[in-house]
Amino acid sequence: MVRPVSLKGANVNSIDLRTDIPGPVSLRWAERHHMAVPRGTQPVAPVFIARAEGAVLYDVDGNSFLDFAGGIGCMNVGHCAPPLREAAATQLERFTHLCFAVTPYQTYVRLAEELNRRTPGRFSKKTLLVNTGAEAVENAVKIARVYTGRPALIGFEDAFHGRTLLAMSLTSKVHPYKEGFGPFAPEIYRIPYGYCYRCSYSRTYPGCDIRCAHALEDFFRRSVDAANVAAIIVEPVLGEGGFVAAPQEFFQALREICTKYGILLIADEVQTGFGRTGTLFACEQLDLEPDLILCGKSLAGGLPLAAVTGRAEIMDAAAPGGLGGTYVGNPVACESALAVLRMFDEQQLARRAGQIGDWILQRTQAWKQDFPLVGDMRGRGAMRAFELVRDPDTREPAKEEVAAITRYCWQHGLIVLSAGTYGNVIRLLVPLVITDDQLEEGFAVLEAALESVCTPTVASAQN
Ligand SMILES: Cc1ncc(COP(=O)(O)O)c(C=O)c1O
């Protein structure tokens, strides 16, 4: 574990390399990083990792960190999982790259079959493999446009879909994802998400008649003709947007509206996907059958791979040669993904995600009472977050406090990430192979971090 540091008086928005970095080797590399790499890639925790195993990272100075970030939700099977290493190594011996568009290979087709079978939707499906979540979004849009012959797309406030031009245009949060990067792609419209804690219509769920979704009918009159809309793209739980889990009725309403107007429904499960919410896909819990479903991140346990799976007739709309890319569906990544699926089956990792979620709920049940900053606690399964606010009535976002907490955490051996449009959410993306003891160890640090920025309530001070 790294040395404890006091946050009192610290400027949480800037990292002082000389005093903050917990070791001389990381410090040297942080300086080299600063000189060699653009500042736009700034890390959350400037510690250089030498190796990782399960839910633990070891840095170049010999410090260890519990990993509650999982490389932003990519390490659901844990770091260096032996079955994944074995599968990747075996494929490395066979061949590393051919380009699926030149000479195909079995592992791509096998993975496509698995995803067709495992994704929600009782209809015939096909799968396209790509490299990243953003690429999955781009391709889903291409496919939706060519199938429907319509140009427009509807996304949501607080959504995140990636950093390429089209994905960034669909992304809501301006700073830092869009600032200065325009002009953006045209024909993109945005409506409020089912974010009940900050309802755009000042209503309260239940009893709000899911106004946010039904407002679409009016939107089709005021902003864009439904007949011009190719697709609505939605995250079943907002990822970067702060782990907001909209009510099931929100998705049912979207499904009905899409079906009514011939609009395709795209579920972006890049962050929710692969078991994090307690089922392989969050849509399963929502009883939602999207036309296209996207996955990435934990799909190949840290190797770059993402997928678009959808109704066969929609996926076939693009002409031969219209979809692809040099590296898409890399064979080493495909073998790793097949190993990930086997691990999910054998170790019941989706079920474990549900247990982790329950464990967190239990462990944090007093937090709202004990820490006045904790305004909302939410999520699905192991995808859990805490939204911090300075005042429970005004809900003023506590962004600086969240920055202080994430910093306190990495300085005390725990890596956690912030999220949310206001940067005031702490989100947890623990590897699903984490043990209960490791969870407890991490939550003790998180609690100490909260204590360091919170004034205790009168009730808990008396206890
Ligand atoms: C919901 C969602 N979609 C798309 C992306 C983009 O994925 P990538 O960073 O692999 O391009 C992300 C990444 O965080 C995401 O959370």
Measured by CA distance, the residue closest to atom 8 of ligand 1 is: 133
With 0-12 / 13-18 / 19 or more C-beta atoms within 10 angstroms meaning exposed / middle / buried, residue 436 is exposed
Contacts of 126 (CB under 8 A, 6+ apart): 112, 116, 309, 310, 312, 315, 316
Q: Residue range 219-238: average pLDDT?
A: 98
25-48 pLDDT, tens digit each:
999 999 999 999 999 998 999 999
pLDDT tens digits, 48-77: 999 999 999 999 999 999 999 999 999 999
Distance CA 145, CA 112 (A): 22
Residue 270 CA to ligand 1 centre (angstroms):
6
Query: 160 CA to middle of ligand 1, Å?
Result: 7
Q: Which of 331, 459, 414, 343 is nearest to 80 (CA)?
A: 343
**Whole-model pTM?**
0.95
Distance from C-alpha of 32 to C-alpha of 46, rounded to nearest angstrom: 12
306-359 pLDDT, tens per residue?
999 999 999 999 999 999 999 999 999 999 999 999 999 999 999 999 999 999
The answer to whether the CB of 172 falls within 8 A of the CB of 155 is yes
Cα-to-centroid distance, 240 and ligand 1 (Å): 9
Instruction: Tell me the C-alpha distance between 322 and 328, whole Å.
Output: 13
Q: Best mutation site among 268, 297, 327, 421 for ligand 1, i.e. most ligand atoms within 8 A of its Cβ?
A: 297
Question: Could you tell me the sign of the dihedral formed by the alpha carbons of 371, 373, 375, 380, in that order?
Answer: negative
Question: Ligand 1 centre and the CA of 452: distance in Å?
Answer: 32
Nearest atom (ligand 1) to Cα of 271? 16
Going by alpha carbons, the residue nearest to atom 3 of ligand 1 is 161
- Pocket of ligand 1 from Cβ distances under 6 Å: 72, 132-134, 137, 160-162, 235, 239-240, 268, 270-271, 296
Report how far ligand 1's centroid is from the alpha carbon of 57 (Å): 23
Digit-coded pLDDT (tens) for 235-281: 999 999 999 999 999 999 999 999 999 999 999 999 998 899 999 99
